[in-house]
Structure 1
């Protein structure tokens, strides 16, 4: 899968400490040294920067000094290894920092001739976890880890956490530009900006549609316009040359949106793609959204801010892989597939070997009238994808995975049949998926990205205290929906 040039994101800052106690005589200091040296070798691969308090913590004063040092350094995450069991009060200074914590237990090893318990490490994890959850007013979820640093048990959990937290810290502080408001009648996409800010630290910025359009119309840089027009016409794009006027309009709009993104610090757009562009500028902007996504600026259609946020989050998790936004338009219980489709806002980078037909949008073509373009008519290439998005109140997250089948016939637009659907690594029938989606009340838009990032997306949401929508098995009877009496 080709990747776009996404804005550089900063690495996660991870602190590491080892809690120790003299009566436990296992080789805790040597094990801790080996473990942090192993972690140093993972920094580049997993996108984090490690700061280690190399001396074991044996007193509360040492715990306080270490917590202060890591907080002043700007740690995003502190991994507390219970190198051996140690006093419960040692965790208090770390809880007070309000920095996200992980608790790490290590194996006891082979019993010695002496026969005493060498480390009692996991009991220390259990103690600290309980204190954090029940006594210390700690505001974040806590993730536990077990195993030596080189063990698969530790590495798998740690890798997921690094991807999730790196995405979350880079998502925080982002700005989503809402251009033209939400599409008429799509009230299920309307958000409360305070919910978005509170849950994910993301700001919604309302952009004036008339000013965006005016900026596009007044552009006079002919050389730049020609360059942008050429950028739409990739090797795999077949363009209806009769719509050259529409291509110039989209090029003007692309320049305008990228200028606004730079000036306003916008990281993703939710663009109301109808009806105003058609009424006020005589153009359909599906292909524009596809090109913005190609260029690394997540762009959701129909003014869908939750999807724009979700697309940005998916890109951060997958280091910039191009994403798109789809409707789920029909089910095929015969082969347990569902059709992902939208008018045509998908990047040409995601098309199969047949490429893209960039032409008029049939939805707006009237009998005997002038065609209105442009949209990307393409079939998604084969591959594993993740579908994931936040609800409009940002209280829940939906994530599932599947495989795109580019051979099954479908309809004009950007589309692909999704088969071999899984949720939490378990197969999901098409009817089960429909039951899950409709029972949850999830909105009708589905962000899609190539790659298997379900676990990382779920964990990113969990760190933000956002609950997951769990699979619900299909049944012929109506399920109670918890409505007020």
Structure 2
């Protein structure tokens, strides 16, 4: 079964060369384990050690691999860290990393000052050169933190990035997307190849047939008044004015609850939804705001049945370690005064938690959110494919001031908008992107190495 637990669990696998047994190595291993226990608390991950696989709690021989594999597999770890306490045992590291098929981090503490003519006790850096070459032979993708001091900020900062990248890999490998109804007729740009997504990436698409979904909505309208009132209260408690909805507020709440229930009942961790006709024609309300609110509640959701946007959203929030929701936007118009700025907009489907501080927010009668988003650093992403090749565009921008408009919106400024624009014109992308507040392009780039997705940064030459 796919692992959808959002808590990241990491196996710490200290390694040493069997022939390099000495007091310095033993002390170093204990210090490393202590440091990573502290980092686990600071960076919010669960650490699984190998203390009980042998007397030293280290990977030292090929024979140790089986015991380490059994323990780490039983613990369902999501990534592996191999601290080299001295030269390390590349034979065992390579075999375990290959068998586990997880994100791998190689690191070793900076070696101490040589003691004259005595033999150096560790040579950790030297061993990592050997280990990484073997990992390449095994076809194991790995990450690396420079050979730095145990208490260095470099270790903490780059470990945080590795954990975020591992989180993206975990979330991507667990993808199971609820696809509600079909795409709008004219939207050929959001066509996807379900079989190819399953074959290449094990991404499962669960169809939500219109009759099934509408039946759920009708039952909630008839039977679940308390749940609807509770959901509506959460909107007003968040400072949104929903008075314009009138009696449409109950269909809006019922649709949102039906989508949440369908995703939960079918073990889905994301959702894409037809938003033009299905609900509007029967209930008089569009699911635009609803989809934003689903993102707010931890279920990445994309409008216009854009499955690739839903995939991108899952990767975005995983890169942020689930600290902020993402939003699906159109690349819409250039800023009328700033040549490097662009409007990220949609007709009311951005999470309410992202509303600009001090800005008024409302939901209009048709079920669309109207409010500007908070500015600051923003990462813009798009997973998409063409003729069997899949790419991830990743660029970073910042929120800037711009003209007021309708729906949900955020003006962003890039370093060179024309360069971005041509990427989207010539690349396998459409006008839909996923935005997330923060700087995550490096994390997404690292995750794509593990997932076999071609990263596409604004400064890179076109690959298509």
What's the TM-score once normalised by structure 2's chain length? 0.86
Going from structure 1 to structure 2, the CA distance change for 1:142 and 1:252 (only over 3 Å counts) comes to same
Partner of residue 149, structure 2: 148
Partner of residue 52, structure 1: 50
Alignment of 1:34-433 (within 5 A): 34-46=31-43, 47-53=45-51, 54-86=56-88, 88-100=90-102, 101-114=104-117, 116-134=119-137, 136=138, 138=139, 140-145=140-145, 146-198=147-199, 200-218=201-219, 219-221=221-223, 222-234=225-237, 236-239=239-242, 241=244, 243-318=245-320, 319-332=322-335, 334-352=338-356, 353-360=358-365, 373-392=366-385, 395-405=390-400, 407-419=401-413, 421=414, 428-433=415-420
Q: Any conservation in 2 of the 1:12–1:166 contact (CA below 8 Å)?
A: no
Unmatched 5+ stretches in structure 2: none
Going from structure 1 to structure 2, the CA distance change for 1:148 and 1:395 (only over 3 Å counts) comes to farther
Partner of residue 26, structure 2: 29
Q: RCO higher in 1 or 2 (8 Å CA, sep ≥ 6)?
A: 1
Hey, what's the Cα distance between the residues in 1 that align with 2:229 and 2:98?
Answer: 57
Partner of residue 370, structure 1: none
The offset of 1:445, in angstroms, is 0.9
Q: Any conservation in 2 of the 1:17–1:56 contact (CA below 8 Å)?
A: yes
Hey, what's the Cα distance between the residues in 2 that align with 1:461 and 1:446?
Answer: 17
- Choose from 395, 419, 426 the match for 1:439: 426
The offset of 1:82, in angstroms, is 2.9
Q: Any conservation in 1 of the 2:395–2:457 contact (CA below 8 Å)?
A: no
Unmatched 5+ stretches in structure 1: 1-6, 361-372, 422-427, 474-478
The offset of 1:341, in angstroms, is 0.7
Tell me, yes or no, if structure 1 residue 9 matches structure 2 residue 6.
yes
Which string of whole-angstrom CA distances, capped at 9 and with x for unpartnered residues, describes residues 12-58 of structure 1? 23131212253697922222221111001111332232313444444
Which has a greater percent of helix?
2
Q: Any conservation in 1 of the 2:69–2:100 contact (CA below 8 Å)?
A: no
Root-mean-square deviation (CA, aligned residues, Å) is 2.8
Q: Any conservation in 2 of the 1:21–1:84 contact (CA below 8 Å)?
A: no
Going from structure 1 to structure 2, the CA distance change for 1:48 and 1:387 (only over 3 Å counts) comes to farther
Hey, what's the Cα distance between the residues in 1 that align with 2:107 and 2:16?
Answer: 10
Going from structure 1 to structure 2, the CA distance change for 1:27 and 1:213 (only over 3 Å counts) comes to same
The offset of 1:69, in angstroms, is 4.1
Q: Any conservation in 2 of the 1:396–1:466 contact (CA below 8 Å)?
A: yes
Partner of residue 15, structure 2: 18
Going from structure 1 to structure 2, the CA distance change for 1:396 and 1:248 (only over 3 Å counts) comes to same
The offset of 1:409, in angstroms, is 0.7
The offset of 1:233, in angstroms, is 3.5
Which string of whole-angstrom CA distances, capped at 9 and with x for unpartnered residues, describes residues 102-148 of structure 1? 222332322221165543322321222222212x3x3x411123223
Q: How many residues align?
A: 447
Going from structure 1 to structure 2, the CA distance change for 1:124 and 1:236 (only over 3 Å counts) comes to same
- SS of the residue 1:249 aligns to: helix
- SS of the residue 1:106 aligns to: coil
Q: Any conservation in 1 of the 2:39–2:156 contact (CA below 8 Å)?
A: no
Query: Once structures 1 and 2 are overlaid, which stretch shifts more, 140-149 or 232-241?
Result: 232-241
